[in-house]
Structure formats: structure tokens, C-alpha cells
Structure 1
């Protein structure tokens, strides 16, 4: 075979960031994502349980 290489060269792999390397902005973003995920999971559990998604509001009576 010839010594030619076709196409792009693959970039070198960079090391993963450790938890100590995260800046406060990234940490806050990840915490917000975890909170959103927990809220979504709780909402799905309520839907499966048959509970109302929205509580309160105007209730209609059967009278006309």
C-alpha cells in the first residue's frame, strides 16, 4: 500500500473534566438540569397515578 492518507485526520482525544474543574456556572446548569429531570419524573408519576395535572381553578357545577 502507499503511504497516503485520505480524508480528515481524527482529532486527538482530550481528557474529561473532573468535578473540581467545573466552574460555578456549569455546576449551576447541571443542578438545574437535575431539578428539571426530577420534576418531569414526578409529573409522569402523577399522570400514571391518575391524579389531576392542574389543581384548583374554576369548577363548573351541573346546574344551568
Structure 2
């Protein structure tokens, strides 16, 4: 009757959560959030295509 004693213990599995019932207000908020995330992704993609703003960035003085 040997038991496994060394090493790391396995984490316990979480029970599966039940599906939640959403009302109209919750569904509207979820939909709005998805649309905002989609718009943000599109803006990020456009910003990456154009490159940096202003070109040169910060100007450094010649002094040390």
C-alpha cells in the first residue's frame, strides 16, 4: 500500500458553472461592451498602419 507523496499536489477541479439567465438590460450592456471593444480594435489597427505621429518624436538638445 504505497501512496504518492513527493512532488506537487494536483489542484482540485472547479465545478462547472451553470449558464446564467440574462434580462434585457444585461443583454443590452453586453452588446454595447462588445461593440466598444470592436471599435477599439479597429482604431488600433488604423493607428498601426499610419505609423508614429509627428515623425521625429522628442527633440534632444546637443548638450551633455
TM-score when normalising by structure 2: 0.49
TM-score when normalising by structure 1: 0.49
Q: Choose between structure 1 and 2 for higher RCO, CA contacts under 8 A separated by at least 6 residues.
A: 1
